[in-house]
Structure 1
Amino acid sequence: MNPVQLTSHKYRLGYHVMAPSGWINDPNGFCYFKGYYHIFYQYYPYSEKGGSPMHWGHARSKDLVHWETLPIALTPGDPEDTDGCFSGSAIVKDDTLYLIYTGHHFNDSNQPEDFWENQNMAYSQDGIHFTKYEHNPIIATPPVDNTQHFRDPKVWQYKDGFYMILGSQGHDGLGRALLYKSSDLKKWEYQGAIDKSKQVAKEGFMWECPDLFELKHKHILLFSPQGIEAEHKKFLNLFQTGYFIGHLDYTQSTFNRDSSFIELDNGHDFYAAQTTLTPDGRTVVIGWMDMWENEIIEQEDGWAGALTLPRTLNLKNNKVFMNPVEEVKNLRTGECRSLSLDNRQVLLSNGSAHVEVNLSLKTNKLENDTIKLTLNTQQDDTIMSLTYNTQSHSFTLFRKDHDDCRYADITASHEVNLRIFIDKSSVEIFINDGEKCFTERYYYPHTPILSIENTSNRSLSGQALVYNLKDEAIQF
């Protein structure tokens, strides 16, 4: 088969990772190796609708924001991955880059749930050309009390061993995270389920894409549960991505929680996040900037899906804060426009559709006001709006193409800061140094109009900084 061809560039992004064409979803194998950051992704090059078997697409970057597309890293079809190279991770050992991934196999291709999964390995000395391990699979079968859902390995090193966390489902129909240990990445010993869902409606029937890392001496168990029911203004997407804060006891193979499940991003389009540790010690995360069963308009143009901006994670006040990496400043072009905010201020109306807008709003004199940020078409039709109530300290995000809003509450303060990144068909909003975030796709082929106002007819107090950003930061 030949890869699908692009028929239009009207929604193509300027500074986010995308495939040359076709379908992408989960980020995989996020790592740093021999002077480059590498990101892989679930990739089906033959259709914008997705399909089977899945490949691993690949891009690399010197600075996390300028990306170079590389050849497909993993192609399925071998005995260990007959029907797909599903999600996984990467780790460096002895100057070699190892990819650890799930092999997907159908017992009956006409029955999507009649499948089995195993775990495999591939390796490379140059970070571009990969060889599958000749003794795959490295884990052939799940534990005896597991269903066929057994995927998405994330591997890290701790002291004298390597550890792998896997997403799975027990025979009781509850999602869980499994732990394995190895001394050489080749032979793995099952340690047990470190944590599991307490109830489907509250914590899910399947845990996908687990990740475990440390922030300020706390362990963060990040994963994407499926099956959580909506709870007032929370958990409104089909599936979520979020975390528990706690402590992994390596000797007992148990994760002891210090928090309930917390969503990492409050927008419509964020899933399957994966982290890496940078050479200077930052924990950086990237997610899939879409959601299962959402309408993906760019499919009409021969492509679908993108990855988020890389984001630095920090632990503050027992919450994970998420901010774009410092390197996004490398995307800025030309001069910064500085605007003083009054009652209503147009921030963007023409020119580039690839911008960064930084807002600093003084709210100490506003008692029960509503500040509204609106993204409109040139005909003044609303594409998206974000409103902030100064009394309840709550945000509401509305999108015209969705029936339901998204919500976020922030800690009360006399100032609200927003960083907004618009990239042709995506918007990422970071509130108060990343206390809350919204990740969104939108579809309008021209430069939108971005404005801010106090709908209570009182003056705004604050400042806006507007930067144009590069529109060709990813090379194909």
Structure 2
Amino acid sequence: MQEIKLTDVRYRPKYHIAAKSGWLNDPNGLVYFKGYYHVFFQHYPYDAVWGPMHWGHVRSKDLIHWETLPIALAPDQEDGCFSGSAIEYDGKLFLIYTAHYNLKEDGSKSYQEQNLAVSEDGINFTKYQGNPVIKPPLANNTENFRDPKIWSDGQDFYCIIGGQTLDNRGQVLLYKSHDIYHWTFEKVLATSKVSTVQGTMWECPDYFEINGQKVLVVSPQGIEPDGEFYQNHHENGYFVGQEKEGNFIYPQNSFRELDRGHDFYAAQTLLAPDGRRILIAWLDMWEQKYHEQADGWAGMLSFPREITIEDGAVRMRPIRELGKIRRETLLNESTAQGQYTFSSPCVEVQFKAMQDLAFEFTRGFEKLSISYQNGKFLLEKTGYKQRKITWKMETLDVQILSDASSIEIFIENGPVISERFYGEGDLELKFQSTKDVAVKTYRLEL
């Protein structure tokens, strides 16, 4: 089979990760290895739709300039190489991934198990001959058993895997190894309290510590909308808890969304050499309209984000390396209202406002607007229902990153809103407030 070719670059991101062509979804294997940041992703190179999953691969020295590398994993005996993670060990780079097997014509059921692949150079990978290294659990889990996240405490290896109980609740299973090849089941780390509240299946788990606080990230399926919350087809969020006597303890119904936009899923993190925890997610959502499919590709990843814990909640902001692609300052003024046109969609916009603010982006057929007043954000986007976000703030410090088909909105000490944003032509910005707003914009370019 031949890889699908691009027919148009009108929606291609300039400074976000995307496959050179074909389909992309979940980020996998975020790791720093031999001087490079590596990001893998779920990929189907032969069409712009989801297909038998491969692992696409890019690397970077600075989290900004990405080099496309050969496909790292392709299904052979498996029917798909689903999501997983990466770790350096003994000078080598190990990938642990879900081997997915489809329902067979002979009546054999579909199932999932965990495999290893290893590389000396971080580019060419060989699958371990002893696969699988982790088989499906024997009790109280359906065939949904995927997306391993691996880490080490310097002595042993640990791996969590997303699962689903027989009574249809999401769960995370914990495994342990002394040598990375042989694994034993330790326990169920965490389980959905109620399926409709916390999910029927927990995909893409991640587990890490920041300043002594334990964070479990999951992508639940099956959460029912609750007022202004959980409005996406699937969710992506986290629990902040504590480890007590080897168990992860979190408050009842404490699941929080990581991002309040329409297009954010399957977030994964890595620990950078300087100690920062960096997060990247799929900047899309299942069962949406992907306008770029007509051009031979689909899907992109979020701009990398630094995450911290403040007042018991995860906060996200763009990585500081963003400064490397700031070119000339386009605007720098203070005014109560403004209307501007940018010839390139690749801009950064910063607002500092008091109490109320309304802004709107338009590009071709797309329009996205956000207003804030009396502790309420109102998000409106072409083709979508209004979305309300309650978040009381005295002042608004807003940072917005726009690329060729995306807008990410970071509100200091507040929500993050991630959106695919298409349209062609000039990017238009309008804003207004009852008081002067400090507005600053940069042109962004690699």
Q: TM-score range by the shorter chain?
A: over 0.9
Query: CA offset at residue 61 of structure 1?
Result: 0.6
Letter in 2 for 1:467: Y
Check the 8 A contact 2:235/2:265 in 1, yes or no: yes
What SS is found at the alignment partner of 1:176? strand
Distance, in Å, in 1 between the alignment partners of 2:321 and 2:229 is 31
Are 1:422 and 2:402 counterparts?
yes
1:58 equivalent in structure 2: 57
Tell me the residue number matched to 1:366: none
Deviation of 1:350 after TM superposition, in Å, equals 2.8
CA distance, structure 1, for counterparts of residue 419 and residue 129 of structure 2:
42
SS in 1 for 2:419: strand
Judged with a 3 Å threshold, the aligned counterparts in structure 2 of structure 1 residues 384 and 96 are, in CA distance, closer, same or farther, namely same
Contact 2:359 2:431 in 1 (8 A): yes
For 2:92, the aligned partner's letter is T
CA spacing shift, 1:377–1:129, aligned 2, 3 Å: closer
Aligned to 2:390: 409
Q: Counterpart in 1 of 2:250?
A: 257
How far apart in 2 are the matches of 1:377 and 1:146? 47
| Residue aligning to 1:345 | 338
Residue 306 of structure 2 is matched in structure 1 by 312
Residue 375 of structure 1, aligned match among 333, 352, 361: 361
Give the secondary-structure state (helix, strand or coil) at the position aligned to 1:356.
strand
Q: Look up the SS of the partner of 2:142 in the other structure.
A: strand
Alignment match, 2:443: 468
Alignment partner, residue 31 of structure 1: 31
* 1:432 CA displacement: 1.4
1:244 and 1:103 map into 2 onto residues whose CA distance is 27
- Decide whether the 8 Å contact of 1:154 with 1:210 is kept in 2: yes
Deviations 1:15-45 (A, max 9, x none): 0000011100000000100111000000001
Change (3 A) 1:134 1:463: same
**Inter-partner Cα distance in structure 1 for 2:161 and 2:421:** 33
User: In 2, Cα distance between the equivalents of 1:130 and 1:6?
Assistant: 27
Identity of aligned residues (%): 43
Deviation at 1:411, TM superposition (A): 4.0
CA distance in 2, matches of 1:405, 1:107: 40
SS of match in other structure, 1:412: coil
Query: CA, structure 1 residues 59+223, in 2 after alignment: closer, same or farther (shift >3 Å)?
Result: same
Name the residue aligned to 2:102. Answer: 106
1:451 Cα shift? 1.2
> Corresponding residue for 1:322?
316
Given the superposition, is the C-alpha separation of residues 110 and 315 from structure 1 closer, same or farther in structure 2, using an over 3 Å criterion?
Answer: farther
Shift of 1:72: 0.3
Q: Give matches, 1:200-279, under 5 Å.
A: 200-249=195-244, 252=246, 254-258=247-251, 260-279=254-273
Distance 1:92 1:49 in 2: 32
- Superposition map of 1:77-88 within 5 A: 77-78=76-77, 82-88=78-84
Task: Look up the equivalent residue of 1:387 and give its one-letter code.
Answer: S
Deviations 1:102-139 (A, max 9, x none): 0000132799x941001001111111111111111111
Stretches of structure 1 lacking an aligned partner (at least 5 in a row):
364-369
Q: Secondary structure at the match of 1:201?
A: helix
In the other structure, the counterpart of 1:358 is 350
Equivalent pairs counted in the alignment come to: 445
Relative to structure 1, is the Cα distance of residues 157 and 411 closer, same or farther in structure 2, using a 3 angstrom cutoff? farther
Runs of 5+ consecutive residues of structure 2 not aligned to the other structure? none
Question: Following the alignment from structure 2 to structure 1, what is the Cα–Cα distance between the partners of residues 90 and 330?
Answer: 45
1:67 equivalent to 2:66? Answer yes
Residue 362 of structure 1: how far off its partner (Å): 2.4
SS in 1 for 2:357: strand
**Against the structure 1 CA distance between its residues 319 and 411, is the aligned structure 2 distance closer, same or farther, given a 3 Å change threshold?**
farther
Instruction: Using the TM superposition, give the Cα deviation of residue 462 of structure 1 relative to its aligned residue in structure 2, in angstroms.
Output: 2.4
2:91 counterpart residue number: 95
Is the 1:118–1:142 Cα contact (8 Å) retained in structure 2? no
What is the root-mean-square deviation in Å for CA atoms of aligned residues?
1.7
Deviations, residues 351-387 of structure 1 (Å, cap 9, x unaligned): 2210111111123xxxxxx521111246xx7611111
Q: TM-score, normalised by structure 1?
A: 0.91
Out of 400, 418, 428, the residue aligned to residue 439 of structure 1 is: 418
2:431 — aligned with what?
452
